[in-house]
Structure 1
Amino acid sequence: MAQTLQSQLATDILLRINAQGMAIGARLSERSLAEALRVSRSPVRTALRQLADQALIDPHPEGGFVVGQAALKIKPAELNDVSPDEAVYLRIAQERLDGLLPARVSENELMRRYGVTRSQLGDILRRISNEGWMERLPGHGWEFSEAMTSPAAYAQAYRYRILVEPACILEPDFQVDEAALRHCYAEQQALVKGEIERVSPAQIFDANTRLHETIATCSGNAFILDSLRRINRVRRLMEYRKAVDRKQALRRCEEHLVLIDLLLANKLAKAADMMREHLTAAAREKQGKVSASRR
């Protein structure tokens, strides 16, 4: 049976509780979860109620929910089997990149092609829309956004990032957001301590882009942040296309921890140099994999 959006969110919330080492009784903020999972607060609220009904989290006397003891007993490895919805989601991404899906498709065409109900497809399309690589047309049609479907475009994106992301740390209005960076630090540290072997490629991608976009936000330059978000939205498909080298991913997360430490210490020039080295090495590794995946 295919998972609903709320069921998938419930799984993601449990994974975050475990990855961040949240303590029993820690508050679960609807707003923070919605921002982290890139959805509205309504499905997050439903997912939290679902977890409460399963006694995995507990209601708080003043409203909302807190981490329950049972949530900490769930092993992330038990949650990461690819659900039917996830399988369809990945097939849509793969077949679009392979040129098997046209730029515009109808819901009826997608339902027939993937053997799903309209309700199931709706959850999948909402997720894709939230990630920014597909948008609804009038009626029941959908259109794919421009995506980086070639190694050349992927390389250009990284060259742009190498130019812009180190420079954003040296912007005159750059202000370290300690709370946001410490949140990213906890995510990266959890990955380094073992979660990198268990979480999905999508979760690794989201944790890493969250850090880079947080740093761009610190720059105070809205144009830098907007351009990076646009690149990450279209880069997502290329990232999903290739297999994750978890050893390389671990090394990048370790570099992220060093980068965050430099920012928190206000060593901005060193942080900018570190960012340039980090992106240059990542580009060299990833572009080779993207080229190989096209053969």
Structure 2
Amino acid sequence: MTRRLADQLATNIHHYIADTGMAPGTRLPERTLADHFKVSRSPVREALTRLASQEIVCAHPGGGFAVSDRVAPPAPGAEVEDGQPTTESEQVYMAIAEDRLRGELPDRFTENELMRQYGVTRGQLQAILRRMTQEGWVERLPGHGWMFLPVLTSSETYSQGYRYRLLIEAAGIMEPTFRLDREGLLRCRAQQEELANGGARTASPAALFDANSRLHETIAACSGNSFILDGLRRLDRLRRLMEYRKTVDRDQAERRCREHLTLIDLLLADQREAAADFMRLHLRNAAREKASS
């Protein structure tokens, strides 16, 4: 492991904490961070140690590290692995997403074409493409070039997606194989509480989507039914860009996060029938709000 990798990863984790609005005290599992940044746990451990020396993270009573109550946002212009400020990278990412939805980008493309069109370096673009690959809406072609994968592009298919979620998500809570992931739900709860307490008013559309889909997929995983979890994950990949395109009503976003807290608390209290009923209500409300945005 090189010093440069640890330095880059420490900066990336700092941005990740800030961009997702993690509350002080939120645990930072090495495995979760390693999966997110597609690295092994060793550089994550070294990066967290460096962040601890800067008081960005602190020791967690249960072991490992957590977000410090003294954490500050990354310095303006602080660079992440691709050498580009996070805000600029997000702008390019969102521009590509919007152009793809408008049909202004072909199914197949090369890095050189996107570099010229969006005025970014190869390193900057490759970091964005890695993110898109992880999210499941582009893939590298054998030999040369890239290809966009299918996504939802019409209001009708978007509505069908919500109707599908109504069929599977509440049912998953009532599966006989349901097993509560308490630690996973508590992590989601800390994030949703931060969003409900003001974070939803400043979070990017991508950060909101990631936090909310993470909660719903965590609940689907509790079902013990791999088809329910796989179906929801596939749908989330398809609907991601449509969600970005929707106008973000900050009041509605905050209210949905409060609904998420109610849903989590019902599950933690083992009130599964009430949680399933609330899931249906929550999804119907979200579908209605999204249809008008």
Question: What TM-score comes out, normalization by structure 2 length?
Answer: 0.83
Provide the C-alpha distance between the structure 2 equivalents of 1:78 and 1:246, rounded to a whole number of angstroms: 25
- Residue 266 of structure 1 is matched in structure 2 by 270
Provide the C-alpha distance between the structure 2 equivalents of 1:56 and 1:104, rounded to a whole number of angstroms: 45
Provide the C-alpha distance between the structure 2 equivalents of 1:133 and 1:50, rounded to a whole number of angstroms: 34
Task: Sort the Cα spacing of 1:58 and 1:213 in 2 relative to 1 into closer, same or farther, 3 A.
Answer: closer
Task: Write the mapping of 1:21-100 to structure 2, written as runs, cut at 5 A.
Answer: 21-22=24-25, 28-35=28-35, 38-42=36-40, 45=44, 48=47, 52=51, 55-57=54-56, 66=65, 72-75=70-73, 83-100=87-104
Cα shift at 1:287 = 1.7
- Residue 20 of structure 1 is matched in structure 2 by 23
Aligned residue pairs total: 276
Provide the C-alpha distance between the structure 2 equivalents of 1:246 and 1:204, rounded to a whole number of angstroms: 10
Provide the C-alpha distance between the structure 1 equivalents of 2:97 and 2:192, rounded to a whole number of angstroms: 26
> In terms of mean alpha carbon deviation, does 169-178 or 154-163 score higher?
169-178
What secondary structure, in the 3-state scheme, does the structure 1 residue paired with 2:37 have?
coil
- Residue 292 of structure 1 is matched in structure 2 by none
Task: Write the mapping of 1:234-249 to structure 2, written as runs, cut at 5 A.
Answer: 234-249=238-253
Provide the C-alpha distance between the structure 1 equivalents of 2:131 and 2:251, rounded to a whole number of angstroms: 28
Q: Percent identity?
A: 50
Task: Sort the Cα spacing of 1:207 and 1:75 in 2 relative to 1 into closer, same or farther, 3 A.
Answer: same
What secondary structure, in the 3-state scheme, does the structure 1 residue paired with 2:175 have?
coil
Question: What TM-score comes out, normalization by structure 1 length?
Answer: 0.83
Provide the C-alpha distance between the structure 1 equivalents of 2:57 and 2:278, rounded to a whole number of angstroms: 42
> In terms of mean alpha carbon deviation, does 122-131 or 48-57 score higher?
48-57
Cα shift at 1:46 = 9.4
What secondary structure, in the 3-state scheme, does the structure 1 residue paired with 2:146 have?
strand
Contact 2:162/2:287 (CA < 8 Å) preserved in 1? yes
Q: Which amino acid aligns with 1:21?
A: P
Provide the C-alpha distance between the structure 1 equivalents of 2:101 and 2:284, rounded to a whole number of angstroms: 25
Contact 1:31/1:41 (CA < 8 Å) preserved in 2? no
- Residue 214 of structure 1 is matched in structure 2 by 218
Contact 1:34/1:40 (CA < 8 Å) preserved in 2? yes
Q: Deviations over 1:187-210 (max 9, x none)?
A: 111111221222222111111111
Question: Gaps (5+ residues) in structure 2?
Answer: 1-7, 79-84
Provide the C-alpha distance between the structure 2 equivalents of 1:156 and 1:59, rounded to a whole number of angstroms: 44
Provide the C-alpha distance between the structure 2 equivalents of 1:93 and 1:103, rounded to a whole number of angstroms: 13
- The RMSD of aligned alpha carbons is 3.0
Contact 1:175/1:218 (CA < 8 Å) preserved in 2? yes
Provide the C-alpha distance between the structure 1 equivalents of 2:92 and 2:243, rounded to a whole number of angstroms: 17
Of 108, 111, 114, 1:107 maps to 111
Provide the C-alpha distance between the structure 2 equivalents of 1:273 and 1:83, rounded to a whole number of angstroms: 39
Task: Write the mapping of 1:108-127 to structure 2, written as runs, cut at 5 A.
Answer: 108-127=112-131
Provide the C-alpha distance between the structure 1 equivalents of 2:75 and 2:192, rounded to a whole number of angstroms: 18
Question: Gaps (5+ residues) in structure 1?
Answer: 290-295
Provide the C-alpha distance between the structure 2 equivalents of 1:288 and 1:127, rounded to a whole number of angstroms: 29
Task: Sort the Cα spacing of 1:268 and 1:254 in 2 relative to 1 into closer, same or farther, 3 A.
Answer: same
Cα shift at 1:102 = 0.6
